[in-house]
Chain A
Amino acid sequence: MSTFTPIGTGQEGSLKDQVSQYLSRAKSGEMGSLPAVIGFIVLAVLFSFLSPVFLTAINFANFFTQAATLITLSMGLVFVLLLGEIDLSAGVTSGVTGALIAVAMAVHGIVWWVSLLGGIAIGVVVGLVIGILVARVGIPSFVVTLAAFLAFQGLQLVIIGEGGLYRISSKYILNIENGNLSRPAGWALVVLIILGTLLSGLDARRHRSQSGQANRPIAVLYIRTALIGLISAITVYCLNLERSYNPAHPLSGVPIVVPLVAVLLLSGTYLLDRTKFGRHLYAVGGNPEAARRAGINVSRVKIVAFTLCSTIAALSGVISASRTGSVDASSGRTIVLNGVAAAVVGGVSLFGGKGRLSQAAIGGFVIAMIDNGLGLMGLNAGVDLAVTGAVLLLAATSDALSRKRGSVVAR
């Protein structure tokens, strides 16, 4: 490499330079999900002292299945939050989807995968309609989705009936949350994650050096891979422990929902980071006028974002139905606010243009842990809600303050 570039790319310098660059970014308010990760660790330590059950194999697995619905919904909401909009109806969209799938299978005897596809299709249509009303008609998303929130609650009540409840009997749907991978399959997953991280990292480096760009020290990639490998290995090890209290029914392995949510996370992240649509979505969230002048079809980007949100919300409805094994008239009614809270706690900005799916996932873990830990301590739901609210307020405050600080620098 002999070409001299006066302007850097942030990838030059030794490992030490990289660390100091990261620290200075963090100081200037670009902390990403760091506060949420710290919060997660603090809560985990706290709860393991406060509750004897918290650190058991069964609660560990339970925690993942408990968090799956919330994390999925929250990842869907990121697409809309990136626009600086909101979807209050995501929770009831998931509820209605679950209800329709349950009724389709239980009452009409429709085969599980047709019901599933039908449910997802409903999510697509709902998102499309919301998106068109917001982007083309110009109604604020708050109002459109509030209307949908009310209407879908009514719809769900009509479908299921007051006080009604439909059981899910399909083994396939139930297995999403209740089935587990075999132990070797769990370890294969770890190998896959390590190889994927390493190979994609090496591929990116090859691309950069081909166009003559500097690369970070390769140690950064090794450290990253080792860290991700270590976390997934520990997770899989714990999930592979025997967790049944009944020796006649052994129970172990990674819940099937974990790789499913991981695939959703990876494909969504690819969409946001590596495609034109993703780039345009961030641009529209950051400065819609600039995006329009750059030739981006702003209303199309918005419609696609709302459609993705509702579709993923529908998936979270399926996961929720799978976990409880039944759907009632109030399923999904309150979860949307937790979904927004999860995203914001993880570092997704309510002002648009800033956030990642992984942040929503981390935030989802934090909110789910509050739920899980306080539940184990036998405190009532009131405390749970109050704590969740306080955490959300804290996260939103830090979001607003970092935005303020950022704009002071810019002027």
Chain B
Amino acid sequence: MQHPYAGEVNVSQQSIPRIELIEIEKSFGPVEVLKGVNFQARAGEVTALVGDNGAGKSTLIKGLAGIQPYGAGEVHFEGTRVDIHTPRQAAELGIEVVYQDLALCDNLDIVQNMFLGREEVRRGSLREASMESKAAETLSDLSVRTVKSVRQKVASLSGGQRQSVAIARAVLWNNKVVILDEPTAALGVAQTEQVLHLVRRLADSGVAVILISHNMQDVFAVADRIYVLYLGKMVAALNKDETNHNDIVGYITGTKSMPVTTEPIKA
């Protein structure tokens, strides 16, 4: 199947994964939510993480974001073992989560949102002109063309444009891993298209993108690999080209399963 959004994808299967999770476990009291999960995300690729509600997707992501550290297991970042216990540590590694509710301030404009918390300052004064040109540059690099002005208030943007701004914010900070939580859940057809293009370009620029989605169409449109979680276990890790919609639904609902090791997926 030809990649509908394929850019110049340069996938080197032998490279060290940007993020590797090994035998991750996490319990809340007596409830085991993650039971020895293995996972990899590579630079330049979109790695989809799918699974039914309660499968453990959020818990897996919260661990990477440093919001809720894992109970056991190892996290490797570009081949070296790291500990992520706080959001700050995640940010320092270059891991950014774009949450479903976007965390944008409606009353601020695009530039102000993209630089929020990381404003450029000289002698106590904000450097508006410099921030403005960087924001405009990032958005045009991502070919976001529907936005008229970077000084528009976010409140006046459409859902797709808001998602674009949130993703551009993650790009602006040269993040190495960008986790997108249901980026198209609230969008119409045209806007979904627009955001999926953006997701693809993000990966093509060398970022390891982790896409969480319920929408199989989106996943097949944009992902390179698909991981399936089922009741806290990773039940499938597949190259997109080797699988199909029905197959994945089978894994999600628990009627199928395959062993997922830490070995890289075969080329």
Contacts and interface: CB of A to CB of B under 8 A. Distances in A.
Contacts of B249: none
Interface stretch (B139-147, B177-185, B252-260): B139-147
B174 interface: no
Interface string B54-94: 00000000000000000000000000000000011001000
A210 B129 contact: yes
A294 B132 CA distance: 18
Interface string A70-108: 000000000000000000000000000000000000000
A282 B150 contact: no
Contact of B106 (A5, A280, A287): A287
A308 to B, nearest CB: 16
B136 A5 contact: yes
B179 to A, nearest CB: 13
A207 B133 CA distance: 11
Given A8-B150, A213-B129, A282 B155 contact: no
B1 to A, nearest CB: 32
B119 A7 contact: no
Contacts of B149: 7-10
Given A8-B148, A279-B126, A286 B121 contact: no
A353 interface: yes
B265 interface: no
B11 interface: no
Contact of B116 (A11, A211, A279): A279
B163 interface: no
B117 A294 contact: yes
Interface residues of B, number: 45
A282 B105 CA distance: 9
B108 interface: yes
Interface residues of A, number: 40
Interface in B107-139: 107-108, 112, 116-119, 121, 124-130, 132-133, 136, 139
B5 interface: no
B146 to A, nearest CB: 9
B155 A289 contact: no
A250 B88 CA distance: 66
B89 to A, nearest CB: 12
B116 A290 contact: yes
Given A9-B151, A289-B103, A295-B118, 18 more contacts: A5-B136, A7-B136, A7-B140, A7-B147, A7-B148, A9-B132, A11-B151, A30-B153, A211-B130, A213-B132, A275-B126, A282-B108, A286-B107, A289-B101, A291-B117, A295-B88, A296-B117, A410-B155
Closest 5 A/B residue pairs (Cβ): A294-B117, A286-B107, A353-B107, A286-B105, A290-B103
